[in-house]
Structure 1
Amino acid sequence: MGKVKQILIMIFIVLAVSGASNVDQLHKWRKSMSSGASSSSGVSRVGSSVIFQLYGNVYPNGFYFVQVFVGHPPRPYFLDPDTGSDLTWLQCDAPCVHCTKGFHPLYRPTNDLVVCRDPLCASLHSSDYRCDDNPEQCDYMVEYADGGSSLGVLVNDLFTLNLTSGVRIFPRLTLGCGYDQLPGVSDHPLDGVLGLGKGKSSIVSQLSDQRVVKNVVGQCLSGKGGYLFLGEDVYDSSRITWTPMSRDHTKHYAAGSAEFFFDGKSTGIKNLNVIFDSGSSYTYFNSQIYHSLISSVS
């Protein structure tokens, strides 16, 4: 087994008042990128970052999304950036058995199927998963905490990405072609999910393995959108406080144990496991914290 990679995550919660300046800065970056050089290679100097503009808000929309270009020629799709899951998938015309309402026409997959014995396929299944039935393709099923799910097959396709170095690249990445979706209770009219988790199949892990960016994901959120970046060279380090992610959590981003305070005072509830999940619209408490909060309020 290889050395475990250190993964850091930065989550910025920015008030709407300061959000405008961040979005203005993003527009400057995007303007400089639009005239940048192109490269057909998915490999770039590690040190650049990939930036996506974030659209949406917490209220009233209740979700954020990014625009990602996939395929050749590249077509736009609106995806839910989710640090709580690994797999990136698009609603797919394979044909589609059940698809929810999205912004764009269904993704038409390439013929570049991922075989069942591919390491990325193995990362989505338990160790006793067998490839006897369909060795030439990798079937997947992902389920989410809100009851939603996606069933499909893995494919490889080109992504169009802009780097902060001014270069536009077209790495071939693995994604899910989802032909059977069930909406969850917090369903949003998007084309799919951008998986940003810690697993091998996540976009940030794939780009890191191809030495495009370092294994860092960050989000700047405001009431008017914000931006998402993969890599670490887009911030002013003097204004950032870094918190290493706990290695005890192999699947989720977590900063270690936490203590619950109410009105600036400790409730006595300690050693809590807290995970960062950008794909969730809500903050969830376990029953112990919930009852403590209700008692404190009443």
Structure 2
Amino acid sequence: MKTKELDVIVVAEINVDIIVAGMQRLPMPGTEHLVESIELTAGSSGVLTATALAALGLRVGLCGLVGDDLFGHYMVEHLQRWHIDTAGVLCDPTMRTGAGVILSTLEDRAILTYSGTIAQLRLEDVRMDQVARARHLHLSSYFLQTALQPDVPTLLQRSKALGLTTSLDPGYDPAEQWKMEGVLEWLDLFLPNLDEARALTGMSTITDALKRLASQTPGVAIKAGQLGATAIKDAEYRQDPGFSVQVIDTTGAGDAFNAGFIAAMLAGENLGDCLRRGNACGALTAAHRGGSGGFTRSDVERLLSST
């Protein structure tokens, strides 16, 4: 069998993030608040996962869509700076690149999203020749990628036919319909957070949500922030409490968890170690401002060996 050139190909929404940090609470209409910082950074769940995978030393490519504008150029430059293969990134001069404004507090965050190119990527825009170069396909923000959404089962089927394993982080559903028909059965790994898992299943506890999702797909890892993460794969159940860090900004922590878990899975590590590595990546990202650049592979190894 021919050796794959890439470890992971990420099919992603692409957008910048404008992060408003240091808020004590989310603002009420008609009020004004001073904050610690407002920064322009690389955004999108898929790009942040791809960046974290690259930081862990994996060979990563990305498929997505940008506009021929300042935000689009910024995002492509970010990917190239992290040595992420951009052959699958298309530029459409008739569109505007997506953007998110993240209002971040110590406890949580709220996100205002302008969809732009996020909602325009279609199945025919995903270069399957690039997908075929990889061992694993990761899809991000299912509910935001509305043009691609109806064809996600087809994308996953084609990827598996090419020999790839598959994973998906659904993200939040702004429409709050929470329908994923025909998707979970084509996944090797499903990566919701606890709120998403509850909404998708109607179950209130992490255990019940995990069991419901595991009846539809062989691998599920549910992220629960400071409560750690819980996973089940091929009927094996594991829970990991995570790491205690001083939280600065939770942006991208779940995406970094995805990267750590996927990297460990591709390396053949057991389920408990996959959870542990995912939690380490998530913790280091939460202790850093911005969704990317929060750790190196050495940082992760030091944190793992310290406990």
What TM bracket, shorter-length normalisation? under 0.3
Structure with the higher helix share, 1 or 2: 2
- Structure showing greater relative contact order (alpha-carbon pairs closer than 8 Å, 6 or more residues apart): 1
TM-score (norm 2): 0.26
Please tell me whether Structure 1 or Structure 2 has the larger radius of gyration of its CA atoms: 1
